[in-house]
Structure 1
Amino acid sequence: MKVYGITNCNTVKKALDWLKAHHVDYEFHDFKKLGVSPEKLNEWDAKAGYEKFLNKQGLTWKQLDPAVKDSIKSKADALNLLQQKTSMIKRPVIEDGDFLYFGFDEGVYEQELIK
């Protein structure tokens, strides 16, 4: 299992604490240190659609210049912006085989991640 996020995000911290408490092994990928590849973003888009992981509720999106927000006219525009500003990706991102989830939900985690 791979968990993507940033270490100072409270939602990521909650998810990592939950995984540790339930003895779920994972590898952590820090967006701030390692970024995210266009290939990975395209893979997530193919599975879920970029709208699912473009976090328009977060501070990074809200602080964007309105012209930049208005410039998002296509999937390519959105994915390019997400690669540049990884803080706009809904976190954490959990990948475990075919399972892909954005965010933290204890019920989903219990159902999908405890084996």
Structure 2
Amino acid sequence: MKRREAREKAVQTLFQLDRTEMSIDEAITYIIESPIDPFYERLVKGTVNHKEEIDKTLEDKLEHWSLERLPKIERTVLRLAVYELLFEDEIPHSVVLNEAVELCKRFGDEKSGRFVNGVLSKFEQK
């Protein structure tokens, strides 16, 4: 599985997990069959396991918005991207931004891509 596809599947999985009682493993097997791609699994589990820290970091970057007010797709893409920015050191900042915008184009709309890019551009580049 290529990394872009892993990110797309991760967004779908995280989207399902947002405000549901489904377990991580249930959501993963709902979206993808075995064998599970290690990068995909790391994205999903890492984002879920670090959600509190990711959300706090995001709240500090959002201006005039709260995470609760964001549309679900933007919130999901932002959480995934912030996980990558904070915990996936080998992935360049520019790649994370570009992939997040592409995910918004695929699952959201043009406005969501611009919004997500604006929020993520406030993070320091590595």
- TM-score w.r.t. structure 2 length? 0.28
Q: Which has the higher contact order (CA 8 A, sep 6+)?
A: 1
Q: State which structure, 1 or 2, has the greater radius of gyration over its C-alpha atoms.
A: 1
Bigger share in helix: 2
